[in-house]
A and B are shown apart, each in its own frame.
Chain A
Amino acid sequence: MAHGPAKGISRWLFTTNHKDIGSMYLWFSFAMFFMGGIFALVIRAELFEPGLQIVEPAFFNQMTTLHGLVMVFGAVMPAFVGLANWMLPMMVGAPDMALPRMNNWSFWILPFAFAMMTSTLFMEGGAPNFGWTFYAPLSTTYAPDSVTFFIFAVHIMGASSIMGAINIVATILNMRAPGMTLMKMPLFVWTWLITAYLLIAVMPVLAGVVTMMLMDIHFGTSFFDAAGGGDPVLFQHVFWFFGHPEVYIMILPAFGVVSAIIPTFARKPLFGYSSMVYATASIAFLSFIVWAHHMFTVGMPLFGELVFMYATMLIAVPTGVKVFNWVTTMWRGSMTFETPMLFSIAFVILFTIGGFSGLMLAIAPADFQYHDTYFVVAHFHYVLVPGAIFSITAAVYYWLPKWCGKMYNETLGKVHFWLAFAGLNITFFPMHFSGLAGMPRRIPDYNPLWADWNMISSIGSLLFGAAQVLFLYIVIRTIVSGRKATDGVWDGAEGLEWTVASPAPYHTFTTPPEVK
């Protein structure tokens, strides 16, 4: 019976097993998380005090650009795809993903994309230096030569994401166990289904916009060059038509993770399941009609400005519904606070704070003062770090015992949580203040007025970085020498993934389970 994994490197190169591919995605994303983190620490080190001490402005811009690109495309997105690979088939009672060979391919092109992108650091003229939003014409006419490598890297990442998304849709729609109707699916499955559609809708737009850049740079077109009759603002519209749904691509699966964890540790079913599904769908829909709120200062006509302001404010409604449902799930439960629960509760609180600053940013006249300052940096780090990173961390602690059959050390997990929680807040909360006090983002040097806040942020970032090294240690220690986990792992956990053994066998649900 050749049902076990192959031996040696070929197991990983040729595997079509969703669990192996999920693990590879997760380790890859972990590696990228550390790389992006090192870029962030370079930024924070330079900003520790006014004056230029460590890096030159040209290199500083490469760091901000690569930090953003690596974290978004290298750390957060592959981590969620990794979680989807591991969990979706087990959650819907399927033996594997619907398209296993494509699954292998969509993972294995990723390392090449990132090798290509980071290799630009060593090229003459340096790496891309125009911010992760790569506004033209800074990213076209005025870009370093390495921009071409960046464009192809983005193409490859996009192809990987689209294939991953198609695979997820195909799995969820075709391979659910008998009896598992759509409205019985765990919320993580729902949020991923919606996310996958977002990916399929917008990744081609991203591919389109970078292709137009490529044409402008090499083939003499002028899509974004005003001197040739082009329009630099068009770039921003197309980019943010991708970019805003992209933001939700990074947060919707997180909603699913938290909606699995909070009921488990509150020992009480998720409150308002169907309203959670509808809220997720509403957020996904709204994400397509709010893109220009990233461009309030670009000089849109008043009417356009108003439409995008109102639509943006509307997002607060379904997002609020989700937060209220989580709080009500906790209400009158019987709560314990293991590490996954701590990260999930921190998610709800800090993500809500990020939502508040988002609501403030939606008010267009006020946005004239917030836009492109550290207030915005604080805002999106409050949604992304507690939102995406904390939920991924919570998911790892929650499902790791199922993946490797061993229990992590609870005390170490809690130490990790408190370090990360403190580090995050010390790093990013002061950024609200420096931003309101007038500090623009993406500057390597600054006026002493903002020196104190920056010094605090820099200290916090070191703490946050150290917490993640501890995380790596905890994961490795668990895999190597954790104590044996039970099959149920958590006493309040519900769902098909908990009905299989720990560690989950290489093949699960070869005969579909019956769902009542």
Chain B
Amino acid sequence: MLIRSNRSLSLLLACLILAMLPGIGSAGELQLNMTEGVTAVSQEVYKLHMTILWVCVAIGVVVFGAMFYSMFAHRKSRGAKAANFHESLKLEILWTALPLFILVGMAFPATSTLVKIYDTDNADLDILVTGYQWKWKYEYLGKDVSFFSNLSAKSKDQIYDGKAKSEDYLLDVDKVLYIPTGKKVRFLVTAQDVIHSWWVPELAVKRDAIPGFINEAWTRVEEPGLFHGQCAELCGKDHGFMPIMVEALPPEKFEQWLEEQKAEALAVAEAAKQTLSFDELYSQGEAVYNQYCSACHQANGQGIPGNFPAIAGSKVATGELSGHLSVVIKGVSGTSMQSFADQLTPVEAAAVITFQRNAFGNNMGQSVQPIDIVKYQQGQ
């Protein structure tokens, strides 16, 4: 009786699992396995992964095969009589030595790949990658180009909308990191606040970004392409919302892009000289606030008690302007409030400070001009 109910149960279970399979298959492409990636290193890593996987499968087939045979053949209900053997030095030596040989066999290719991953010498281009709560800063060393890369507004708008998500949901950014094809690019990875981890699966690069340390990683992409990644180390509230996008461009296009970035920097400096009306500042400031500030201080300016202070009625936003400037431009060390000196242009900083001093019932009636920001930064 017991055995029968047991069998029908397992049958039911098998049916259930089978019934689920077509549903899974029809739901579109399902990625089961690690990406092979696009670099020589990532493909080696993939091969290692497949080798060790098949080694495990082979051992599994033998061990589980013996077990299932035994469970079938050596059951009391089939009249099996128990043997009494319980020791064999030969067997113990055999199954200690055999796995040891397999492991030594695995260690050779693993070591050789690891040595390649660690060879960061002779890079053609150095990029300093800095993790912030919750964005990445990229600095092309010696090229005078640096920028921050945030989760795109498109993804942000979808988080709470309850609708189907776009294909690159939470994987797209406002500013892509461009690298040249055919060149060895070295990433110097560090962090400003807590530990992050910079990971792009298709490059097989994952390096922890640690405050006070500079870690090295490298890649060489031969063909142009766009690659997505994410932060891989829990770094606080919005850890799931700091993606990475790397695009490999042919070298001439890459150089052209670098020139454009420099021109843009000049335009920003020029824009800092203009005087804006209160309404212009306020409305632009609202947009900047929603992009940079609302993750912590919240869209309604109330913050999260115990974690992030409110802007509404805050001593900073309703006090002396110099204090407000200091918090936004320099940040507050030892807290999540980072320096926005490099993240916001003078126009944006002026706009968002104007907005914060007048929104959420703060009503200071005061506007801050880009030139005030520039002066404050020079005065430091």
Binding site for B on A (CB under 8 A): 50-53, 57-58, 61, 123-126, 129-131, 135, 137-138, 141-142, 144-145, 226-227, 230-233, 266-275, 297-299, 302, 305-306, 309-310, 313-314, 316-317, 320-321, 323-324, 327-337, 345, 348-349, 352-353, 356-357, 359-360, 363-366, 368-369, 371-373, 410-411, 414-415, 418, 422, 426, 433, 436-438, 440-449, 451-453, 456
Contacts and interface: CB of A to CB of B under 8 A. Distances in A.
A145 B208 CA distance: 26
Contacts of A360: 49, 52-53, 56
A137 to B, nearest CB: 6
Interface of B: 2, 5-6, 9-10, 13, 16-17, 20, 24, 27-28, 30-35, 44-45, 48-49, 52-53, 56, 59-60, 63-64, 66-67, 70-71, 74-77, 80-88, 91-92, 95-96, 99-100, 103, 106-107, 110-111, 113-115, 117-118, 133, 158-165, 167-171, 193-195, 197, 199, 201, 204-208, 210-213, 215-216, 230-241, 304-307, 333-336
Given A51-B161, A360-B56, A365-B44, 5 more contacts: A275-B92, A306-B114, A369-B34, A373-B232, A440-B231
Contacts of A327: 63, 66-67, 70
B82 A356 contact: no
Nearest to B240: A443
Contacts of A422: 13, 16-17
A167 B274 CA distance: 76
Nearest to A437: B31
Contacts of B158: 51
Contacts of B77: 336
A446 B170 contact: yes
Contact of B74 (A50, A227, A335): A335
Contacts of B84: 268-269
Contact of A313 (B35, B81, B103, B113): B103
B60 A356 contact: yes
B370 to A, nearest CB: 31
B87 A272 contact: yes
13 contacts: A51-B163, A57-B237, A130-B236, A144-B306, A230-B212, A330-B67, A335-B74, A359-B52, A365-B114, A366-B49, A366-B52, A433-B30, A436-B34
Given A227-B333, A317-B103, A334 B307 contact: no
Contact of B232 (A141, A272, A372, A414): A372
B154 to A, nearest CB: 13
A240 B95 CA distance: 30
B240 A368 contact: no
Interface-centre pick from A231, A232, A336 (highest chain B CB count, 10 A): A232
Given A332-B74, A334-B76, A365-B117, A456 B24 contact: yes
A138 B234 contact: yes
B168 to A, nearest CB: 7
A316 B161 contact: no
B32 A366 contact: no
Contact of A227 (B17, B165, B211): B211
Contact of B306 (A51, A124, A316): A124
B82 A433 contact: no
B12 to A, nearest CB: 9
B31 A449 contact: yes
B233 to A, nearest CB: 6
Contacts of B160: 51-52
Given A226-B212, A321-B96, A447-B170, A336 B114 contact: no
Nearest to A303: B118
Nearest to A368: B206
Contacts of B5: 411, 414
B111 A306 contact: yes
A272 B92 contact: yes
Nearest to A319: B99
B106 A363 contact: yes
B197 A352 contact: no
Given A306-B111, A363-B106, A372 B233 contact: yes
Contacts of B169: 50, 447-448
Contacts of A306: 111, 114
Contacts of A268: 82-84, 86
Contacts of A336: 75-77
